Amino acid sequence: MHPLDRLLWTLAWVFPVAPSVPWLDDVPRGSGFIGRDWPRRHASERGLELTPVPEGGLVDDLGKLSHLENLSPRVREFYEHTGRFDLSIDVHWRWPLSISASVWAWLYGRRWGQLELPAVSDVELTNEIFALGEDGTLWLRRYAGTPRALYISRYDIVRIDVEPHPVIRITFPVPGGAWVVVFRAEPLDGGGLLLTESAGRPGGAGLYLVPSEGAPRYVRALREAIAVRETPTGVDASHTFDLFGIRILELRYGIPLTA
């Protein structure tokens, strides 16, 4: 393992061990460079068939979130047929943290081929969906025209003991393990969908650092939320990051239907 990655996982020890979380046992973990080719390599290692799905979705049926009613048909279409949409992103860092984004990209994001957060606005992204046999769906978002990956993730809808309703689990393989975000799903006015970690606790909604060896750690200090709403041309989304209750980053996605 690269010394910087070893340092990062060592620092994760400051976070509390997550209590009984068997629903993290099956998440895909990374070992070395991730990058745009990770879906193919992961499928080969697992003996699974990897299939590009141009009109595939992050989840096969948003109706599994059965506690939600009156979701916009367009919001449902985005989650069930994500590949039909184009992606662009505007970035709003709390000043002067955009500098830290460049440092993170230099130390980790580009070297990992994963989680290379943008430091500038008005960025076009690819939108690539892959079916991985019975092992779920992978979503690859690259900076358009480059091999550089913003996110490579797997989406699932799962049930966990401490949450009253099904939750959305998003897994990001990274060198030495995985980062996993668990979101509660709540309705927004006008048929929108809010994914939130608000008031999460260990064993429930929130961010988990899952090493390849050892116990998962729960990160309470960082909270994320994603709000998805219908627009006349498709949907848009706001992805916010709060550290110790202070907004440090907002990613605003324009997501029109492909012409």
pLDDT band, residue 259 (cuts 50/70/90):
low
CA distance between the termini of the chain:
44
Q: What percent of the chain has pLDDT over 90?
A: 73
Residue that wins the pLDDT comparison between 123 and 9 = 9
pLDDT of 1 higher than 90:
no
Tell me the per-residue pLDDT of 185-218, one tens digit each, with 9 for 90 and over: 999 999 999 999 988 899 999 999 999 988 999 9
Give dist(CA 17, CA 253) in Å, integer. Answer: 33
Q: Report phi then psi at 27, rounded to 5.
A: -75, 145
Give dist(CA 92, CA 251) in Å, integer. Answer: 6
Per-residue confidence (pLDDT) for residue 122, from 0 to 100:
79
Query: Whole-number mean pLDDT of the chain?
Result: 92
Separation of CA 85 from chain center: 17
Q: How many domains does the chain have?
A: 1
Give dist(CA 42, CA 27) in Å, integer. Answer: 12
Residues 6+ apart with CB under 8 A from 36: 113, 140, 142, 147, 149, 152
Give dist(CA 41, CA 34) in Å, integer. Answer: 9
Q: What range defines the domain where residue 179 resides?
A: 3-256
Tell me the per-residue pLDDT of 3-15, one tens digit each, with 9 for 90 and over: 999 999 999 999 9
Give dist(CA 18, CA 250) in Å, integer. Answer: 27
Give dist(CA 27, CA 171) in Å, integer. Answer: 7
Tell me the per-residue pLDDT of 33-89, one tens digit each, with 9 for 90 and over: 999 999 999 999 888 889 999 999 999 888 888 888 889 999 999 999 999 999 999
8 A C-beta contact, residue 252 and residue 90: yes
